[in-house]
Chain A
Amino acid sequence: MAQETRIIENTWDLTAYQWKIESDALDLFVKGLKDKKILGRKCPQCGTVYVPGPTYCRKCFRDIDQVVEVSQEGALDAFTVNLADVKGTIVEHPYITCTVKLDGTHSFLMGVLEGWTDWRSIKEGMRVKAVWKDVTQGALADLSHFQLTEK
């Protein structure tokens, strides 16, 4: 049986989506970003520091209202190297997404990794620091990327 393929053309209005999911965690987080601060929440019971901070502790199931500013430096955790763009074209400078554990925190932040020359030499545990956009506006994009501070 021959393969039949049909193409149906249509438009998709992405702006039609107007729902907003309330996220106290991200509201607090982006507010801090405007002042180039990284804010999280600390559980007064078990001491776990979450960034961005949920409003309750995942371990103790109690509300957390203690806001803490955390270090802008930390250790690289997992990462993945994208050698091509979304269309599959090989890129000259691979795009690396990473998770970072900032000093004194117990959860991970996701971001873009820069400051490397050969991606093959990147190892989990390497030191990184947050790098900001020149102009911050209270958005996730204010935190430009994480920069490797060791080779």
Chain B
Amino acid sequence: MKRNVAIISVGYNGRFVSKRPDINIPELIQPAVDTAIGKTKLKHDQIEAYVVGNMHTFEGINQPHLWASDHFGGSKKPVMRVATGGSTGASVYQAAYYHVASGMYDVVMAIGWEKHDEGDAQVGLMGILLPEAFSLFNFGPDMSEDRGVAGLGGGGSTGGAAFQAMSYLTKAHAGIEHIDRVAAMMRSNAAKNPYAHLQQPGCTEADIAKTPIISYPLRYGHTCPTSCGAIAMILVSEEKAKKFGITDRVAWVKGLGSGASDATTGNIIEGQITDPAEQYMCKVVAKKVYSMAGIKDPRKDIQVAEVYSGFSHQDLMWPERLGLVDEGKSPEMLDKGAFAIDGELPLNPSGGVTSTNAIGASAMVRVGEAALQVMGLAEGGHQVQRKIENVVAHGWGGLFQFVTVTVLGRTPVKK
């Protein structure tokens, strides 16, 4: 890319919660925008362009950016909406990055949100499942008892998550207790993050193990909530950062990328089901991003990871696929405390997605949290105390086949 880009500010609307019946979507977004701007010396009119996004269909409201633009300051300015499902937040952020890196704009705001209480995520997922299901009806599936429903194994990511979890556990020679353990760690990390949704201070493996099995090996305690919340970030060019006199507490975008693999369990119509735990593209993209960021050894040069895990087994899987941990070694890392906030590789100090999931915001929250860690501004005790040079943020979407990776750092890559 031509120019260096820095994230200079990250703002949330407040704490993520289940329901906000007192406000509408624009009112949910606006405080995040004001917070992000308020942390800088900028004025609203200095934002040159906006890239915004949320998950389509989950709120039951089409094109919410059309009537939210006035409220976030987008009126009479370039506004681009990006909606790529689970990875929306990361795609919004990446589009905002390209707005600046390309030289077209100098100061761009990225906004991601979800107001889950206005719709039904399950209904949204049905929109993905039904075309698949109806198509299969042409080929005579067994519809007796529950077979027709389970046999599909699709309908967005949830159908395939249990298969992925089982496949991962077998590959890593791990058990359901490891998923319980990492789930508990995330909920107790969340208690140190004032913006996190499910905050359970001191949550233990036993607390999670008490929750019922949904589809073995996944329990209720291994799944994410549906949250309401918004995040806004300001991205500026290196030139403008210098002009504003803000090159100290910023997070430089050092590398970023995205990729797509074959669809996993839902792809029976196309004639192929792949192993959802393999994550070939995650490995490829991570490698490419590290090389763009000038990182030779990610295990040495990256100090913190914020990964997108809608289901707790993924908190063990992604660090391996991102090349931060040997394949199959995450359970061991977890057991020796390496993933703790004060461990050798802090994993999701924020509490991650299993603690907070406002879908259109979630993948951007990973980037925002990575930026806060680099800046040293993570609030409420979830700031990693040892010296941070680089942080990796990750997102996924679809049936686990879309992946986004970003490396943020304290110093920009030399051009």
What is the interface of chain A, defined by CB distance below 8 A to chain B?
A: 1, 3, 14, 17, 19-21, 23-26, 29-30, 41, 50, 52-55, 58, 77-83, 85-86, 94-95, 97, 99, 107-112, 119, 123-125, 137-142, 144
Which of the residues B134, B217, B271, B274 comes within 8 Å of A17, measured between beta carbons?
A: B134
Contact B167 A124 (CB under 8 A): yes
Residue B215 at the chain A interface, CB threshold 8 Å: yes
Give the chain A neighbours of B262 by CB distance below 8 A. 58
Contact A54 B268 (CB under 8 A): no
Q: Which of B139-147, B242-250, B292-300 contacts A (4 or more CB under 8 A)?
A: B139-147
Bound-state CA distance A23–B150 (Å) is: 21
Given contacts A99-B265, A138-B140, contact A29 B271 (CB under 8 A): yes
Residue B22 at the chain A interface, CB threshold 8 Å: yes
Contact B270 A30 (CB under 8 A): no
Most chain A beta-carbon contacts within 10 A, residue among B143, B163, B213, B262:
B163
Interface size class of B (residues with CB under 8 A): 35 or more
Contact B149 A30 (CB under 8 A): no
Contact A80 B162 (CB under 8 A): yes
Contact B139 A140 (CB under 8 A): yes
Give the chain A neighbours of B147 by CB distance below 8 A. 95, 112
16 A-B pairs within 8 Å (CB atoms) are namely A52-B272, A78-B167, A78-B170, A80-B216, A81-B213, A86-B149, A99-B273, A109-B273, A110-B273, A112-B142, A112-B150, A124-B170, A140-B141, A140-B151, A141-B143, A144-B142
Contact A140 B142 (CB under 8 A): yes
Contact B141 A111 (CB under 8 A): no
Shortest beta-carbon distance from B50 to chain A in Å: 31
Bound-state CA distance A108–B277 (Å) is: 13
Contact A30 B139 (CB under 8 A): yes
Give the chain B neighbours of A85 by CB distance below 8 A. 145-146
Which of the residues A82, A107, A110 comes within 8 Å of B215, measured between beta carbons?
A: A82
Given contacts A78-B164, A97-B151, A139-B139, contact A23 B269 (CB under 8 A): yes
Contact B139 A26 (CB under 8 A): yes
1/0 per residue B212-239: CB within 8 Å of A?
Answer: 0101111000000000000000000000
Give the chain B neighbours of A137 by CB distance below 8 A. 140
Which of the residues A81, A107, A123 comes within 8 Å of B274, measured between beta carbons?
A: A107
Given contacts A21-B269, A97-B153, contact A86 B166 (CB under 8 A): no
Which of the residues A1, A30, A41 comes within 8 Å of B21, measured between beta carbons?
A: A1
Residue B138 at the chain A interface, CB threshold 8 Å: yes
Contact B142 A81 (CB under 8 A): no
Give the chain A neighbours of B166 by CB distance below 8 A. 78-80, 124
Give the chain B neighbours of A58 by CB distance below 8 A. 262, 272
Give the chain B neighbours of A41 by CB distance below 8 A. 271
Residue B135 at the chain A interface, CB threshold 8 Å: yes
Bound-state CA distance A80–B272 (Å) is: 19
Those 3 A-B pairs whose CB atoms lie nearest each other, nearest first: A139-B140, A25-B271, A80-B162
Give the chain B neighbours of A80 by CB distance below 8 A. 162-163, 165-166, 215-218
- Besides A50-B272, A95-B146, 20 other CB < 8 A contacts? A3-B21, A26-B139, A26-B271, A30-B140, A52-B271, A54-B270, A54-B271, A54-B272, A58-B262, A58-B272, A78-B167, A78-B170, A78-B277, A80-B215, A86-B146, A95-B150, A97-B153, A110-B273, A139-B141, A140-B139
1/0 per residue B276-294: CB within 8 Å of A?
Answer: 1100000000000000000
Residue B275 at the chain A interface, CB threshold 8 Å: yes
Shortest beta-carbon distance from A93 to chain B in Å: 10
Within 8 A of A (CB), among B151-185: 151, 153, 162-167, 170
Contact A123 B170 (CB under 8 A): yes
Contact B273 A108 (CB under 8 A): yes
Shortest beta-carbon distance from A66 to chain B in Å: 14
Contact B163 A112 (CB under 8 A): no
Shortest beta-carbon distance from A109 to chain B in Å: 7
Given contacts A86-B149, A110-B153, contact A19 B134 (CB under 8 A): yes
Give the chain A neighbours of B66 by CB distance below 8 A. none
Give the chain A neighbours of B131 by CB distance below 8 A. 21
Give the chain A neighbours of B123 by CB distance below 8 A. none
Give the chain A neighbours of B143 by CB distance below 8 A. 141
Contact A79 B269 (CB under 8 A): no
Most chain B beta-carbon contacts within 10 A, residue among A29, A77, A78, A142:
A78
